[in-house]
Structure 1
């Protein structure tokens, strides 16, 4: 039994849908990537594609998989490996496409005030709408809904878990940054960003407070998270893996010292942060020698395993 199952059991009883679905019935065909244009509130103007494999589990899990800056949902569907895993394990994949134009191309919004507040607007609300639509139209399981993404998508993964802890049961962020790292849109491009040029070094409590302030009054369980970063990443520096780890260990009330470490594959060094009962809530994975190129081979499968979808 995977370590994540204990965490999912704790979360399952409290998961709630975050938004009301307004979309029309889907015309999707099995084993095809289909665009949905009317899925509900969409303040971010975000596009939605969904992949439903030929054979799904009863009340199938739902994975939201998000691309990096300049990419799109269909491209991430082709390159990330999640469609093949969906075919194998019977889960549904939502592929959002960002349309927020920045000096670094189209990216998911993680800088505006709206993107940092529960139901504040922008991309997080749009993606929550996609999730609600998928639950209702395809019978997706609200207790097994997950977020993952690369670069900009990894940043949005952190945001979604902060803003919607009652919607997402777990997340896996590749090459992301801590939630609320960016001050505003001017701080987003790497060449002039305090967030990604190595100047952001906050205390764990400061990072944790940012998550707690995103959804004031929420006292329920927080989703587990898996964090990935390459040591040779020159675009989103490796140092931010430590900052994100500090954020989520503080949110979960865990020690900054790993409970144990292991090596899932050669070159992958994983720090596991567990509670007193042994449940791992945060995994921090260092990928030796990797640049801004994640996920690489085998990493999507490791994320699915962390989610508890694959035995």
Structure 2
């Protein structure tokens, strides 16, 4: 069964190609990974976090994935629901889970809709980017592969981070989120989530360079309108500038079956050099939930294609 999302008001307010096969690797010959808590302080504020370090880490640079939970979740819940730590153990990746303070948002949502958190050098983008840089430095993460992903409010904040810090993040994953600039207040956010993409989001100031993005969205999502999936992709491609974006997308359809019982459509957008700018996954029959997630966490739909596995593939091959 699919975990039901909170009511629309609470959720808002704050908040070709084949699926990769499951690994058949034998058990690792190193100690298990560590999942530990920490706290980051800077002029922008204080942020608690959890960090997963795979057992294979020996100081050699590894990719870093920053995972931003949705409304009503925390780092532990999001790690369980997405299963990203298990995949990172297999693949050799660091995974960082910033955790929103309830004093910053009573429901634990990232404040994606507040104009105070839309720009580089201020608010939550500055705080999360600062934490990311500190982990990169301390763990000598591979700076070619520093990605950020999130669900719902976390997905919207991931989009903002990719657009405001394209020098730090090399890829973005947005699951059931919204485009940068979709709202500038709580009232705007309600309308955007209910009615779909607002025109001003696509005309928002764009960064100097585009960051590759992978987007997942269920076509039965009753919390965040499906149109935001296309809006996020169009906004990201629009930031490409003169890189030659505009080729017709390659579209792959799956009727479902096997590990993915939901059918899905995936559209792949490339630049003129053939590099992937965006992947847009529409999961048919899915609601507002992490596709392919685990029942151990909230807001997951284990019947869909595995968003975590596909994002990890995208993050470690982009650029």
- The answer to which of 257-266 and 169-178 deviates more is 257-266
Which of 238, 251, 274 is 1:250 aligned to? Answer: 238
Which of 301, 310, 313 is 1:305 aligned to? Answer: 313
Q: Is the 8 A contact 2:196 2:225 kept in 1?
A: no
Shift in Å, 1:238: 1.0
Q: Is the 8 A contact 1:162 1:211 kept in 2?
A: no
1:179 to 2:175 alignment: no
Q: Secondary structure of 1:47's match?
A: strand
CA gap of 1:156–1:293, structure 2 versus 1, over 3 A, is same
Which of 256, 260, 276 is 2:250 aligned to? Answer: 260
Cα RMSD between the aligned structures?
Answer: 2.5
Q: In structure 2, how many angstroms separate the alpha carbons of the residues matched to 1:196 and 1:104?
A: 19
Q: Is the 8 A contact 1:61 1:309 kept in 2?
A: no
Which of 182, 185, 192 is 1:195 aligned to? Answer: 192
Q: Which residue of 1 aligns with 2:279?
A: 283
Which of 234, 238, 245 is 2:226 aligned to? Answer: 238
Which of 223, 238, 260 is 2:211 aligned to? Answer: 223
CA gap of 1:208–1:44, structure 2 versus 1, over 3 A, is farther
Q: In structure 1, how many angstroms separate the alpha carbons of the residues matched to 2:116 and 2:253?
A: 39
Q: Give the TM-score normalised by the residue count of structure 2.
A: 0.77
Q: Is the 8 A contact 1:115 1:124 kept in 2?
A: yes
Q: Give the TM-score normalised by the residue count of structure 1.
A: 0.79
Task: Give 5+ residue unaligned stretches, structure 2.
Answer: 1-16, 18-30, 257-262, 294-305
* Count of residue pairs the alignment pairs up: 268
Q: Which residue of 1 aligns with 2:73?
A: 71
Task: Give 5+ residue unaligned stretches, structure 1.
Answer: 3-28
Q: Secondary structure of 1:194's match?
A: helix
Q: Which residue of 2 aligns with 1:155?
A: 156
Shift in Å, 1:197: 1.5
Q: In structure 1, how many angstroms separate the alpha carbons of the residues matched to 2:255 and 2:149?
A: 20
CA gap of 1:143–1:235, structure 2 versus 1, over 3 A, is same
- The answer to which of 285-294 and 248-257 deviates more is 248-257
- The answer to which of 240-249 and 169-178 deviates more is 240-249
Shift in Å, 1:309: 5.6
Q: Is the 8 A contact 2:44 2:122 kept in 1?
A: no
Q: Which residue of 1 aligns with 2:260?
A: none
Shift in Å, 1:256: 6.1
Q: Is the 8 A contact 2:54 2:92 kept in 1?
A: yes
Q: Is the 8 A contact 1:211 1:251 kept in 2?
A: no
Deviations 1:80-137 (A, max 9, x none): 111001100111000011125688712012122331111122x211211221111121
CA gap of 1:103–1:126, structure 2 versus 1, over 3 A, is closer
Q: Which residue of 2 aligns with 1:132?
A: 133
Shift in Å, 1:56: 3.0
Shift in Å, 1:207: 3.7
Q: In structure 1, how many angstroms separate the alpha carbons of the residues matched to 2:201 and 2:227?
A: 14
